[in-house]
Amino acid sequence: MVYVGTLIQVIDNSGARTVECIKVLGNGRNLAFAGSVIVVAVKRVNPRKRIKKGEIYKAVLVGTSKSSLRKNGFHVSFDSNYAVIVNNKSVPIGTRVLGPVMMNVRLFGFIKIVSMATLSV
């Protein structure tokens, strides 16, 4: 689960390294799970990329540290919260996803992110 104000690591090659959640889109609560779209502010960047510190983007959560229960009884969780930066049409800005993503992302319709990922958990 991600709340407003949570720091999130970015696992694509868009240039952002750490972002802060400033708004959760889509539901009435300020609570986001894997597959949710959030609005983020960039906190730490790679200096050779086009994303700058302080800019506002949309992002998709692809992994959370809070475990989620599957229908087969398994609990799936990550060490930290992970996101992928997307544009207004929900297409990723980066060209590679550098880590595994949860299968919940596929259920929300972000097939492009799942296909670019190294592993779907």
CA distance 80 to 34: 12
- The reported pTM is 0.91
For 44-57, write each residue's pLDDT tens digit: 999 888 899 999 99
In CATH, what number is assigned to the domain containing residue 97? 2.40.150.20
CA distance 84 to 98: 10
For 10-46, write each residue's pLDDT tens digit: 999 999 999 999 999 987 788 999 999 999 999 999 9
How many residues in total does the chain contain? Answer: 121
Q: Are 60 and 83 in contact (CB under 8 A)?
A: yes
Nearest Cα neighbor of 64 from 44, 75, 50, 80 is: 80
Q: How many domains, the chain? A: 1
Range of the domain at 97: 2-120
